[in-house]
Amino acid sequence: MGLEYLVKDALSMGYEAREWDDIRIKVVGVGGAGCNSVTRLSNQGINAELIAVNTDNAHFSIVNADKKVLIGKTLTRGRGTGGNVDIGEQAAQMARKELYSVLDGADLIFVLAGLGGGTGSGAGPVVTELARETGALVVSMITMPFKMEGKNRMSIAKMALERFRKKTNTVIVLDNNRLIEIAPKLPIKKAFAVMDYLIGDVIKNIAEAITIPSMMNIDFSDLETLMRRGGTSTVLYGEGNYYSPQDAVVDALNNPLLDIDYRGASGALIHITGGPDMSLRTVYKIAEGITSGIREDAEVKIGARVDKSYTNKIKITTILTGVHTPYIQEKSTVYGTGEIGRFNDLISVIY
């Protein structure tokens, strides 16, 4: 089926801000890619404080955020790191006090960064460490570089990913190479807008699942239970017709944003959006289809929201936690790292 609704919604960006309860949420973009994501998120009606952190002062001229923090002023003179990860880390370490002050006061902090460069890869893990020191639940959402960007950039990204894993509660890994499959014909700026829209949609879904009364809600303690031990995570995104919800499940299982082994997943946060006619049975069958192939003892949380604009259609956003990816070399794994995770042998469960 593809992701037609996602691409359409990503390019329209027509969303109204919602009033949420007392859960305090901050979204922090680190480095050029992270700050670009924050700028695009500002157009999606995400009711959270948006913060941009960078070593490149000139880049701030095109960034839209509630707060902008230039780090490493004396080190880089506001000209960026030149791709040097050590300088990026130094810049963040020098600004620890200022960064902590900006991050403090949130219940949930999302840290966004693109890996492979100096600031996102070097400063990003420091920001996540400081975010955890505030006592907040910290979810990092990072993007891996295109393969065409070369082995050196990929090597930097892999090392940075390991540091993110150690510093954050859950790191959600998204692969830019999947953009080629999601939106192969779109100009590069619009393709990146689709990825940023997806990031924003995940944040919105998590926030709304714990704050807006709906068909099925997830409370903040449920989210903490799942995310605090999440390890490496990724996103599945699917769309379908209300009358054939199995299509949305198949779509989600065939559109992972990372090459992963689903079967070892230790948890799943499933958020389903549908129209006023969406039934509990539909929600159950979708959740059953998504979870049928993960570990039996996996922690599963389900949120379902009714949205009038989704009449006759369904959207599924799933975060799978505790997954294995070839980007990280585990010492041992039960299932290996082959081309798996498409659930071809499990799809029959939902028919």
Residue ranges of the chain that CATH labels 3.40.50.1440: 4-211
Q: In terms of DSSP H, where are the helices of 13-84?
A: 31-41, 73-76
Q: Which residues of 276-304 are buried (b: 16+ CB within 10 A; e: fewer)?
A: eebeeebbebbbebbbebbbeebbebbbb
Question: From CA 300, how far away is CA 302, in angstroms rounded?
Answer: 7
- Contact present, 135 and 95 (Cβ < 8 Å): no
Would you give the DSSP letter of residue 148?
G
Number of H helices, E strands in the chain: 12, 10
- Supply the pLDDT for residue 146: 83
DSSP string of 225-240, one letter each residue: HHHTT-EEEEEEEEEE
Class of domain 4-211: alpha beta
Residue ranges of the chain that CATH labels 3.30.1330.20: 233-350
Helix (H, G, I), strand (E, B) or coil at 112: strand
- Supply the pLDDT for residue 263: 74
> In the chain, what are the helix, strand and coil shares in percent, each to the nearest 5?
45, 25, 35
Question: From CA 34, how far away is CA 111, in angstroms rounded?
Answer: 8
Architecture of domain 233-350: 2-Layer Sandwich (3.30)
Amino acid 76 reads T
- Supply the pLDDT for residue 259: 66
Question: From CA 172, how far away is CA 195, in angstroms rounded?
Answer: 13
- Contact present, 257 and 237 (Cβ < 8 Å): yes
- Supply the pLDDT for residue 230: 65
Per-residue pLDDT of the chain (351 residues; tens, 9 = 90+): 556 666 666 666 544 444 445 789 999 999 999 999 999 888 887 789 999 999 999 999 999 999 999 999 999 989 999 999 999 999 999 999 999 999 999 999 999 999 999 999 999 999 999 999 999 999 999 998 888 788 899 999 999 999 998 889 988 888 888 777 767 777 877 777 788 888 888 888 787 777 777 778 788 888 888 887 667 887 888 888 877 888 788 877 766 666 666 777 888 989 898 998 888 888 988 999 888 878 888 889 898 888 888 888 898 888 888 887 766 654 433 333 333 333 333 333 333
193 sits in which H/E element: helix 188-211
Helix (H, G, I), strand (E, B) or coil at 306: strand
DSSP string of 256-270, one letter each residue: BSS--BGGG--EEEE
Question: From CA 174, how far away is CA 72, in angstroms rounded?
Answer: 28
Question: From CA 143, how far away is CA 35, in angstroms rounded?
Answer: 13
- Supply the pLDDT for residue 60: 95
Q: How far is CA 217 from the centre of its chain?
A: 20
Please report the sign of the dihedral spanned by the C-alpha atoms of residue 208, residue 211, residue 212, residue 217: positive
